Structure 1
Amino acid sequence: MRVILLGPPGAGKGTQSKKLAKRTGQLHISTGDLLRENVSLGSELGQQAKGYMDKGALVPDELVIKMIAERIAQDDAKSGFILDGFPRTIKQAESLDKLLQEHSLKINYVIYLDTSEGIIIQRLSGRLVCSQCQGNFHAKNMPPKQEMICDYCGGSLYQRSDDNPQTISKRLDVYKDDSSPLIRYYDAQGILKRIDADRDAEPVLEEIVLLLKK
């Protein structure tokens, strides 16, 4: 089974993707992780991506799609995967569909984590990010074991400068404009499922698991 998790910043896509992968045994593919791994390994695609990242520019869709293509061709992706962080636009969605069709595959479910603005602001305002592995914590809801130190790699944690209520609201406005066509795209295919993600992580996970069993 191949699943995409969509939702606004702070909806819990990364958290739910990891939990779902652990529960189902399927591969979790994070485009952010893919980019960092390729850059770290110095692969040909990673070197190309680094050139854009060093300039502060967005990595072109074509490069990201090539990284995804390489990843889903590996043995551990044959039984399915959970895609987190991609696609974000109609163009990316169409490129992904084309890639999967070339392998006689398709996306089975697109889970949209529906989250209210108030909850998102609450979550992101307390978010802490690892400077090394980009792991996420929350000052109140999921604090690290040691203050401002990452549980996963020991890196130092920081709060993003744009994780404040005013900037978050602006980011959400941009997200709504960008995501509306994408949501309609998958809804028209009959594979979009909405989940109330205002709740704690565990009940959200249970609803997703139940949905995927149908």
Structure 2
Amino acid sequence: MSAIPARTRLLDYLERREYLRTEAVREGMEAVNRADFVPERQRYAAWDDTPLPIGRGQTISAPHMVAMMLEELQPRPGQRLLEVGSGCGYHAAVAAAMVAPGGEVHTVERIPQLAQRARANLAGVTNATVHHGDGSCGLPEVAPFDRILVTCGAPRLPGPLREQLAVRGRMVVPVGGHTLQALLVIERDGDEWREERRPGVAFVPLIGKHGYED
């Protein structure tokens, strides 16, 4: 058996595959134990590069996808970040490590049982708050956000999320069909908006007023 910890082996692999490109994202992923966020029966696979079921038809994203999205999002210390789709809370925990010190993460989950689980999993993360509600509407009472991370596939860019992105903000959102999407990387610079597309991602659908119908 290798003496290299499973977490280190995985992160080294993600670097070789160029999913991990910056020290900031690597340090964020090193700071969080993925095994603490997956169901007990799945913990043997916590450091495999694969999505895992977490119940209610939802999954925890594969580590390569977490790395890829955070590399595109580029969270920075001191920023306010919105996550749409808390799931088990893992992605929010990594993001919270990246925006510390001084930053905060607000994550929204529509499924009450998962919101409760994410809240329990994030209990020790002092700069992360779990909200139960329709993430496609964002959180206007907390906006604007320097970074917005959407972890489910939308049929189109939800208007409220665009409105809640701060000047010089950045958003990453999968947009497309129910099973296959392109990853949109959106930047706002005053009244100017820039958009890039990264094809070939697959996320569970965004359910809500500005997403798909339940």
> Which TM-score band (shorter chain)?
under 0.3
- Give the greater-gyration-radius structure (CA): 1
> Which one scores higher on RCO, CA 8 angstroms, separation ≥ 6?
1
User: Of Structure 1 and Structure 2, which has the larger fraction of its residues in helix?
Assistant: 1
User: Of Structure 1 and Structure 2, which has the larger fraction of its residues in strand?
Assistant: 2
